[in-house]
Amino acid sequence: MTSILIIDDELSMREFLKILLEKEGFAVTTAAEGTTALELAEENDFDLAISDIRMPGMNGLELLAELKAKKPSLPVIMMTAFASPEDAVTAMKYGAFDYITKPFNVGEIKKVIKAATSKKVTETDVRLSEMFPNIIGSSPEMLKLFDLIRRIAPTPASVLIYGKSGTGKELVAQAIHNHSRVADKPFVPITCSAIPESLLESELFGHVKGSFTGAIADKPGLFQMADSGTAFLDEIGELTPIIQTKLLRVLQEREIMPVGAARTKQVNVRIIAATNRNLEEEIIAGRFREDLYYRLAVVPIRMPSLKERKGDVPLLVNHFLQKYSRILGKEIQNISSYAMEVLMNYDFPGNVRELENIIERGVALESSNIILPESLILSGHGKDKALQTASGDKPLFVAANDEEELFQRGMEDVMIDVEKKMIIHALEKASNSKMKAAELLKISFRSLRYKTKKYEID
């Protein structure tokens, strides 16, 4: 049976999670503070720990650091009612499996727990993420990607990286080259769609003097420039049938024919290709050679979308904040909890590249020393949903579906008690300012005013 350790100074929250998780078949042990939790962790082999961040004495982040030092393979989920990007980034740096905010969706916390208990984060995982400093992420999806890069990089196998635009395909190609046996040799990238069709053959394979108008001298192509190293072909699905045939020859015979040349030239180059198209559908439609596809996809790598690895958003936000604060000469090192929630609820159709653009614009537009929601310019599908989810009136706990509504009603007294304590805590932290307290709780001012009246909170 999977065993879980819950650490929270609020008795009602410990009881709530204990009942919820035992109902799901987990063995649950609870602790009210960090010191007891450490003793329990040393005496027992737990499969997961879930800890609040804001606790008296040893806070959750200090506890997380101690737990990871003593039990590196123990996945730890951090939770808090007062989300801040600093806490999120620190938690991820200390090795938290994930970071969730109250109010949390019962269904969502079940998903996070399932993910955490299905694969413990090991010391190997930590080392993997440190191997690729230019690729930001510590989610399970990225750890799998890092492991795959580590295993295939030393081989000469051709690689096909596929995924949506903005997911970081070129970064992965560069990482494969950097950890290969030819890391000291050239890495030559080319975007196939960026070069006019009439010039692409010359760019890839080179040409000899006089082969066409304007060819005033011999010119080496991409594959000659990348000889003994790596050639990265981005947007490979844009290649014409003629170029596909010539590329197949490079893969099969390790030779090229420059435009206008009378004989072939030998090249020893590893090819990494990338595409945002479904090449199998392109094959069926007759637009892409099947034999070329299998030559390229000796090792296929699928890039996860940012929507699939939302746990990496705080890390990415912190990285881009530091980057563009430095570039733009700003002193912005923070983002408001409400702005962070907006981003966490956004689907990012443009993936990591879109998040980078959002933060760059935010840093450029922001006049204070913290990114506020007004400086976030979102586009694409999901914009209205993200803003509405982050700003709309909502209870501090939300049932995931009809099945859980029955359970939720049974927990009503516990949740009301927790909600009242959270509101009182927020008001104390905000010096009794309801406007600031509402922002801490991520609910509207109107909703907070209603709840304080309902619960008779002065």
pLDDT (tens digit, 9 = 90+) per residue, 237-276?
Answer: 999 999 999 999 999 999 998 888 878 889 999 999 999 9
Most confident of 33-47, 75-89, 188-202, 328-342: 33-47
Kindly list the strands in the beta sheet with 27-31, ordered across the sheet, starting from the edge strand earlier in the chain.
27-31, 3-7, 48-52, 76-80, 98-101
Residues with Cβ within 8 Å of 323's Cβ and at least 6 positions away in sequence, in order, are none
Phi, psi (5° rounding) for residue 303? -90, 125
Pick the closest to residue 341 from 438, 452, 447 (CA basis).
Answer: 438
- Predicted confidence at residue 259, as pLDDT, reads 87
Predicted pLDDT of residue 111: 80
Q: Looking at residues 79-99, what average pLDDT do you find? A: 73
pLDDT per residue as tens digits for the range 382-427 = 555 555 555 444 433 333 344 444 444 455 556 677 778 888 888 8
User: Which amino acid is residue 348, in one-letter code?
Assistant: F
Check pLDDT > 90 for residue 13. no
The average confidence (pLDDT) of the chain is 84
Pick the closest to residue 217 from 204, 228, 206 (CA basis).
Answer: 206
**pLDDT at residue 123 greater than cutoff 90:** no
In this predicted structure, what is the pLDDT of residue 381?
Answer: 56
Higher pLDDT pick, 104 / 68:
68
Q: Which two tokens stand for residue 135?
A: 């690729």
Q: What is the average pLDDT across 445-454?
A: 79
Token code pair at residue 285 = 């439609």
In the predicted model, what is the mean pLDDT of residues 447-455? 80
Backbone φ and ψ of 395, nearest 5°: -70, 160
Residues 218 and 207: their CA atoms lie apart, in Å, by 6
**Number of helical H runs and strand E runs in the chain:** 21, 12
In DSSP terms, which residues pair with 76 in a beta bridge?
Answer: 49
- Determine the pLDDT at residue 408: 47
Mapped onto helix, strand or coil, the DSSP state of residue 98 is strand
Which is more confident, 107 or 274?
A: 274
The per-residue pLDDT for 397 is 39
Please indicate whether residue 10 or residue 160 has the higher confidence score (pLDDT): 160
Predicted pLDDT at 392:
46
Average pLDDT of 325-341?
85
Copy the structure tokens of residue 304. 């996860």
Higher pLDDT, 79 or 416: 79
Mean pLDDT of the 12-19 span? 89
What's the sign of the alpha-carbon dihedral 152, 154, 159, 161?
A: positive
How far is CA 325 from each of CA 134, 274, 365, rounded to the nearest angstrom?
18, 31, 11
> Does 195 score more than 80 pLDDT?
yes
Instruction: Give me the domains of the chain, ranges plus CATH numbers.
Output: 1-121 (3.40.50.2300), 131-302 (3.40.50.300), 402-454 (1.10.10)
* Contact criterion met (CB below 8 Å) for 118 and 2: no
Amino acid letter at 393? D
pLDDT above 90: residue 1 = no
Distance CA 122, CA 112 (A): 17
* Whole-number pLDDT of residue 208: 86
- Name, of 34-38, 125-129, 445-449, the range with top average pLDDT: 34-38
Rounded to the nearest 10°, the torsion over CA 62, 65, 66, 67 is 120
Predicted pLDDT of residue 4: 95
Least confident interval from 89-103, 201-215, 387-401:
387-401
Predicted TM-score (pTM) of the model is 0.61
> Residue 299 — pLDDT band, cuts 50, 70, 90?
very high
Mean pLDDT of 273-287: 95
Of 385 and 355, the structure prediction assigns the larger pLDDT to 355
Q: In this structure, are residues 417 and 457 in contact, taking their beta carbons and an 8 Å threshold?
A: no
Query: Taking a C-beta distance cutoff of 8 angstroms, is the pair 261, 208 a contact?
Result: yes
pLDDT of residue 73: 79
Mean pLDDT of 325-331: 91
pLDDT value for 382: 57
